[in-house]
Amino acid sequence: MGAQVVLNADLIPNGISVGVSGTINTAGSPIVLISDAKGNNYTFVGSGNPGYLYLQNGPVTPKTIVANMPLTIQFENQNAATMLPAKATIQTPTATGLNVIMVGSEDGTDNDFNDCVLLLYWPVG
């Protein structure tokens, strides 16, 4: 089992469309599993250094999913014991703003937590 983090509705509003994208900075082949409260499962895979995550049997990321909270994110092939998501909101006086959550994982070689980086962002469209 790899590193896991659970994102709750205090980070992402329930039921909204969320863009998902990711990068790889390791020689390994990361697998990222995302599951939600309604039983939807998404598997992202990648290889290369640097490289990108792709939705397995789907289009190149970014991919839009509906955030049926909570979302569980599982990083396979990564041995980090702890992962903390970071959230930022980019806002202007006249716009609602862009929300971004970034979750990084570590493969155990250099403790930089950039070996597989997942971005979740909204609004999309």
- The CATH number of whichever domain residue 108 belongs to comes to 2.60.120.400
The pLDDT, as a whole number, for residue 37 is 92
pLDDT tens string for the chain (125 positions)? Answer: 577 888 888 889 999 999 998 888 888 888 888 999 998 888 888 877 788 888 876 555 558 888 889 999 888 876 654 566 788 888 877 777 889 888 888 888 888 888 888 889 998 87
The pLDDT, as a whole number, for residue 4 is 83
For the chain, the domain total comes to: 1
The model carries a pTM of: 0.84
The pLDDT, as a whole number, for residue 81 is 43
Residue by residue, DSSP assigns 37-105 as TT--EEEEE--SSSEE-EETTSPBSPEEEE--SSEEEEEET---S----EEEEEEETTEEEEEEEEEEE
- Domain span at 93: 3-122
The pLDDT, as a whole number, for residue 79 is 60
